[in-house]
Amino acid sequence: MSDTLRDRSRAPRPARFSRLQRSLHWLMAVAVIAMLFIGVGMVSTVSPAYVPLLTTHRTLGIAILVLAVLRLAVRAARGTPPLPVDLPRPMKIAAKLSHVALYGLMIMMPLIGWAMVSSAGNPVLLLGGVQLPPILPANGAMHAALWKAHAALAFCFFALILLHLAAGLFHGLLRRDGVFESMAPVSSERRREAPVMSESATRSRRSDDSA
C-alpha cells in the first residue's frame, strides 16, 4: 500500500486537467453564477416568482455542495497540472490560497444556507418536491446570525469569482503560460488542427475535381 502511494506521488503531473475535472469545473461555474444571480433576484423581489427562485437557489446550492466534494475527491485521485516554473512565488501562493477559499466557500455557503433554513423552522424544499432534513433546531437568534453570515459570504464569493476570472484572463491573454489552457474546454492544439484539416480536405477536393 505504501509503495503504491509512493509510486503515485512520483508519477509525472499531467499537463492538463482530466476531461472529468474540466467538465466538473465548467458545470460548477455555470451553477455558481446562476445561483448568485438568482440569489440577487430573489432578495430583490416580492413577486410570486420568489418561491420558485428560492427553491431553485436552494437546489443549485446543494448541487454545488455535492459537486465540490466530488471535485475534491477527483482532484486528490488524479492530481493537478503544475504551475509554470517562472510564475512569481507571490502569484503561486495567491493561486493556492484562492483555490482553498473557493472550495471552502462552495462547501460552507450551501451548508450555512441549509442551516439557516433549518434554524428558521422552515422545510428545506428543493426542486422536484425533494425535502432535506433539518440540520439545526429552530432558533431565531441562530437564524439571524446565519442569515448575516450567508449574505456576507455571498459578497466575498462574488468578489473571489471576479478575481478568479481576472486571473484566468491574465494567464490566457497576457502570460499565455498554459494555466488557462490546462482548464480550457478544448485545447488550443485541437483548435489549430481544425483549420489545418479543413485546408487538407479542400486541397484533396480540388485534386479530385481536377482529375
Q: Can you tell me the distance from the alpha carbon of 31 to that of 36, in angstroms, rounded to the nearest whole number? A: 9
State the pLDDT at residue 15. Answer: 79
Average pLDDT over residues 117-144: 95
Q: Can you tell me the distance from the alpha carbon of 86 to that of 102, in angstroms, rounded to the nearest whole number? A: 24
State the pLDDT at residue 51. Answer: 87
Q: Can you tell me the distance from the alpha carbon of 146 to that of 115, in angstroms, rounded to the nearest whole number? A: 8
Least confident of 135-139, 141-145, 188-192: 188-192
Cβ contact 132:62 at 8 Å: yes
Is the model's pLDDT at 94 over the cut of 90? yes
CA neighbor of 188 nearest in space, from 167, 163, 171 = 171
Is the model's pLDDT at 2 over the cut of 70? no
pLDDT in tens, 7-61: 444 555 667 899 999 999 999 999 999 998 888 888 777 778 888 889 999 999 9
Domain residue spans in the chain? Answer: 2-210
Kindly report each contact of residues 64-69 with a partner whose C-beta sits within 8 Å and lies 24 or more positions away, as own/partner.
64/28, 64/31, 64/32, 64/35, 64/106, 64/109, 64/110, 65/106, 65/107, 65/110, 65/111, 67/24, 67/27, 67/28, 67/31, 68/28, 68/103, 68/106, 68/107, 69/107
State the pLDDT at residue 195. Answer: 42
**What's the pTM value of the predicted model, to 2 decimals?**
0.79
Q: Which fold has domain 2-210?
A: Fumarate Reductase Cytochrome B subunit (1.20.950)
Q: Can you tell me the distance from the alpha carbon of 148 to that of 83, in angstroms, rounded to the nearest whole number? A: 36
Average pLDDT over residues 178-195: 69
Instruction: Please provide residue 146's backbone torsions phi and psi, each rounded to the nearest 5 degrees.
Output: -70, -35
Confidence bin at 104 (pLDDT 50/70/90): very high
Is the model's pLDDT at 96 over the cut of 90? yes
